[in-house]
Amino acid sequence: MKASPHHGRAAILAASIALVSAAHSSAAYALAPAAGSAPAEQSESDAYSRYELLEPGSGKFRILYEVSATTPGARFYFNPIRKGSIATDERVIDRATGKALPFEIVSGAVARAGGVRGADADGQYIRVTLARPVPAGGEARILIDKTYADPKSYIADRDTITFDRSLGVKRNAVVLPPGYEPVAVNYPVQALQERDGRIKLSFWNVGPAAVPLVVKAKRAKAPAAPPASLADRLQERASQSREIVYYLGEPETHSFDLTHDYTETRPGVSVYTNIVRAGSRVTNPSALDLDTGERLSAETLKGAAIAKAGGDAPDATADTEAVLFRFKPPGAGETRRIRISETYTDPERYRREGDTLVWDRSFGRPVNAVVLPKGWTLSNSSSPATITTLDDGRVRLDFINPRADELSVLITAHRRK
C-alpha cells in the first residue's frame, strides 16, 4: 500500500495535541512526577472570571472563576487568595459532573510544595482536591465560587460606585448591581444586559500584562430588555471557550491538521456535527474527551445521511459533508469538554505561489492559532498575532478576536535559508 503523505504529519499532530492548544494558557504542560519526586509545576488554561458587584457600600463582590487544571497526573489545584481581600462563602464545583469538590485554605509554602513555583510564602491559597487525576493530554475543569470583601477595590460614593482592580485573567466580566448604569470604563468592553436587568461589562485581555480596570457606574432607571430578534448579536464573547489550532503541512499538499476544543453544555446531547467547509476535504477524524482521556468515535457522512444518523445539519444538501463525533451525553448540571482532531485539504485557502506559502482563511472563533510547517519563516500576517517558536523550531501565531464577527487572516511565509 502506498504511504499517505499525511502519515508523517499525523505523528507530529499526535505529539502536538498533547500540548496546551489555548493561546491564553498560563504554562506549558509538565510531565507527571515520578513517585517520590517533587510535583510537576502547576499549569492551567481557559480561565474566565465573573465579578458580581454586591450591595454598594459593602465593598463585597462575588467571583465565579472557571479554570482548567492541565498538569498531567495532578490531583490538586491551587488558587491564590489576593492579599488585601477577605474571602468567604467559598465552594468549588467539578464542571464535568456539577458536583461539589473538597477544598481547604493552605499556606503559600504548601502551594509551592504542591507545584505552584512562584507561590508567595506569606500568601494563602485554596487547595482543591480534583475529582480525578488530570488525564494525559486532558484537563480537569473546575468552578471556584467565592466572595471577596475588598473596600479598596470596590468603592461607593453617594450614587456612584467604582470598581478599580487589576485583572490578570484574560477573559473577564464585571456585573453591575441592579439599578446601575456604566458611565466610564477604561478598557474596551461589551455591554450586555442580563436576564434580571443587570448590566454586564465583558472583555478579552489581548495583551501580555494585567488590565488595570476602572469601572464607574451610577444609579439609573432599569433599562428595557432588548428585542428578542437581536439576541443572536448580543452574545458574550469572553465566555466562549472554543479553541482551534491549525498545524500546516507543506503548502503544495494544501493540507493541514487541526484540533478543535469545545464544551457541550446541553443535557442529553451526544453528537457533535462538524460541517466541512465548502472547498475542503476532511480525513483522519478523531476525538478525545478531555475530562476523562477517553477516545471517541467518529464517522464521515454526506447529505441526508447526516440527519438520519442524528447529526445537526438542517440546511444540508446532497453535497454537504459532515463528521459526527459521539460522546456520553451530559446530564443535568454536567458538561463535556471535547477535543476534535482532523486533517483538511483546501487548495483555495492554503496553497503555494512560487516560493511563497499562502494561508488565506477566516476565523469565526475567538481563539485561533496557526503553526507553520517546519523550516518555514513568517513574512506577513494581515491580522495581529502573538508569535512564538515551538521546541522543534516551528513558528506559531496566536490570534485572539474579541469581537463577535469573523477575523480574516492572510499569512505568507518563506523557507528558512
Alpha-carbon gap, residue 350 to 251, rounded angstroms: 7
pLDDT of 165-188, one tens digit each? 999 999 999 999 999 999 999 999
Predicted confidence (pLDDT) at residue 327 exceeds the cutoff of 50: yes
The pLDDT of residue 218 is: 97
The pLDDT of residue 46 is: 95
Predicted confidence (pLDDT) at residue 2 exceeds the cutoff of 70: no
Alpha-carbon gap, residue 65 to 42, rounded angstroms: 17
Confidence of residue 5 (pLDDT cuts 50, 70, 90): very low
pLDDT above 90: percentage of residues in the chain: 84
- Region 207-218: what's the mean pLDDT? 97
Alpha-carbon gap, residue 405 to 365, rounded angstroms: 9
Predicted confidence (pLDDT) at residue 285 exceeds the cutoff of 90: yes
Mean confidence (pLDDT) of the chain: 91
- Region 323-348: what's the mean pLDDT? 96
The pLDDT of residue 32 is: 41
The pLDDT of residue 33 is: 46
The pLDDT of residue 8 is: 43
Alpha-carbon gap, residue 337 to 261, rounded angstroms: 7
pTM of this structure: 0.88
Predicted confidence (pLDDT) at residue 14 exceeds the cutoff of 60: no
- CATH code of the domain occupying 240-415: 2.60.40
pLDDT of 292-317, one tens digit each? 999 999 999 999 999 999 999 888 89
Predicted confidence (pLDDT) at residue 278 exceeds the cutoff of 50: yes
Higher pLDDT, 231 or 376: 376
Helix residue ranges per DSSP H, 332-394: none
Give the domain ranges of the chain: 240-415
Alpha-carbon gap, residue 270 to 304, rounded angstroms: 19
The pLDDT of residue 12 is: 40
Confidence of residue 25 (pLDDT cuts 50, 70, 90): very low
Q: Yes or no: say if 234 and 192 are a contact pair by the CB < 8 Å rule.
A: yes
Predicted confidence (pLDDT) at residue 397 exceeds the cutoff of 70: yes
pLDDT of 34-79, one tens digit each? 455 678 999 999 999 999 999 999 999 999 999 999 999 999 999 9
Predicted confidence (pLDDT) at residue 385 exceeds the cutoff of 80: yes
The pLDDT of residue 18 is: 40
Least confident of 106-120, 197-211, 222-236, 342-356: 222-236
Strand partners, 350: 359
Q: Yes or no: say if 381 and 408 are a contact pair by the CB < 8 Å rule.
A: no
Q: Yes or no: say if 327 and 264 are a contact pair by the CB < 8 Å rule.
A: yes
Beta strands in 82-225 (DSSP E): 86-94, 103-107, 124-129, 140-149, 154-157, 160-167, 171-175, 180-185, 190-193, 199-204, 211-219
Predicted confidence (pLDDT) at residue 7 exceeds the cutoff of 50: no
Q: Is residue 346 packed enough to be buried (19+ CB in 10 Å), middle (13-18) or exposed (0-12)?
A: buried
